[in-house]
Amino acid sequence: MRLTRYFLPVTKETPADAQIISHKLMLRAGLVRQTAAGIYAWLPLGYRVLRKIEQIVREEQDRSGAIELLMPTLQSADLWRESGRYDAYGPEMLRITDRHDREMLYGPTNEEMITAIFRDNARSYRDLPRSLYHIQWKFRDEVRPRFGVMRGREFLMKDAYSFDMDEAGARASYNRMFVAYLNTFARMGLRAIPMQADTGPIGGDLSHEFIILAPSGESDVFYHANWERPADLSSVDFDDAAALQAIVSGHTADYAATDEKRDPAREAEAGEALRQSRGIEVGHIFYFGTKYSGAMGLKLQGPDGAEVVPHMGSYGVGVSRLMGAIIEASHDDKGIIWPDAVAPYAVGIVNMRDNDPACTAAADALYAKLNAAGVETLYDDRSLSGGQKLATMDVIGLPWQIVIGPKGLERGVVELKRRATGETIELAPDEAVARLAAK
């Protein structure tokens, strides 16, 4: 994409209410703009990142055997009366009345709706186990929206729901999702620590939050120093319940808990290795048994003819919030440093002298070759000073930059810079294309 044809409003100033670094950088880098309190428009560069995050979430859900569907944003209040949550849910639920005076709401979550869909369409134990998920916009009417997309009102969430014959089956489904989450966050370059957590308004008796460590986090967390090791991907057969349990056990052996779930005995045991930090929740998983299936009359015919009330769990990932979390975890004083997997473009080309025909010809040729090689490229072909272009590239944080200037070209080289380290090398343009195409 050529910047002369793109829409990238990079700015220097940020409003006073942008307190945390990810919020500031998302505004400065032209990723989002607020359109109402806690509601954001995703500008082209930001939307590319959001779609990459969403796609990683989707791929790992699919790999774990979960099946994608899409439920609508608006729900009927009657559905929530069936579970008893319509009155219980506080003012964070956005309640709506339509033209026929029917009570509706903008879904903050979908336990009721998925339970009704499964109840009305599944028939027997043969429809178990199933995990169904969707990636859809939700609304929670936060009293004080803040931290940009981290605590917005309209936000994108992946929520999955599992249906099993019994508790043992539900725990296996829980474990599948637990491992899928480890892989999801690791692919984004994040160390997300699964912590025992309160179940809150969802209910149930087993729950983990997946938490990123960051000074701007909303809550205090306590964990063993072992968690400071980098995350790695789990290669596992999702049909192998024992292997999944082993991974889950391994990832819950070291102490980690939110403020509400601290365990003095285990903290004493950790001793000097106990760490305290602030954390950002990026995922939350729950097992809640028959809470919704029981209340809403979801019953299936069992293998012996008797009725089965499925055991359920629900599993959330804050897709739009992840963009803020990734920036909190990966930036420097010049701007964002995107992990390769979620970068909006892999490389940016900076033409230092757009009024020098040789530089422009070289930059144009390089852009064409990178596109032909399938490398996602943003080309700064604007009439601006080289310094302004370099500053833009640093703030938007593409993983690689190729800088083209007249002195290098005389020697037949361009400069390839890794944004994360600042390391630069000189090499021939074709060699730069070959290196980037191989990644």
Binding residues for its own copies (CB under 8 A): 4-7, 9, 30, 33, 35-37, 39-44, 46-47, 50, 65, 67-76, 79, 91-92, 94, 96, 98-100, 102, 104, 106, 113, 116-117, 120-122, 126-127, 130, 132, 137, 139, 141, 143, 153-154, 382
Cβ nearer to its own copies, comparing 122 with 195: 122
| C-beta closer to its own copies: residue 79 or 221 | 79
Residues in the chain, how many?
Answer: 439
Smallest separation, CB 387 to its own copies (Å): 19
Q: Which residue has the tokens 């779930």?
A: 261
CB of 404 to its own copies, least distance (A): 21
CB atoms within 10 A of CB 209: 25
What b/e readout covers 320-345, taking b as 16+ CB neighbours within 10 angstroms? bbbbbbbbbbbbeeebbbbbeebbbb
* Nearest alpha carbon to residue 191 among 131, 254, 132, 242: 254
Nearer to its own copies, 74 or 253 (CB): 74
**In angstroms, what is the minimal distance from the CB of 68 to its own copies?**
6
159 in helix, strand or coil? strand
Helix 167-187 crosses helix 241-253 at what angle (to 10 degrees)?
Answer: 60
Q: Are 9 and 45 in contact (CB under 8 A)?
A: no
Residue number with CB closer to its own copies (82 or 220): 82
- Whichever of 10 and 195 has its CB closer to its own copies, that residue is 10
Q: Is 117 within 8 Å of 82 (Cβ atoms)?
A: no
Name the minimum Å distance from CB 195 to its own copies.
Answer: 30
Q: How far is the CB of 89 from its own copies (least distance, A)?
A: 12
Q: What residues are paired with 130 via a beta bridge?
A: 163
Nearer to its own copies, 257 or 312 (CB): 312
Helix (H, G, I), strand (E, B) or coil at 336: strand
Closer CB to its own copies, 98 or 332, in the complex:
98
What ranges in 89-157 are assigned the alpha helix state H? 111-121
Nearer to its own copies, 102 or 418 (CB): 102
159 versus 209: smaller Cβ distance to its own copies: 159
Order the strands of the 424-427 sheet from edge to edge: 377-380, 347-351, 400-404, 414-418, 424-427
The minimum distance between CB 302 and its own copies, in angstroms, equals 16
- Rounded to whole angstroms, the Cα distance separating 284 from 112 reads 18
Nearest distance from C-beta of residue 141 to its own copies, angstroms? 5
- Number of CB atoms found within 10 A of residue 418's CB: 13
In the structure encoding, which two tokens stand for residue 209, read together? 């939050």
The candidate with the shortest Cα–Cα distance to 207, out of 170, 240, 246, is: 170
In the complex, minimum distance from the CB of residue 128 to its own copies, in angstroms, rounded to a whole number: 11
CB of 391 to its own copies, least distance (A): 17
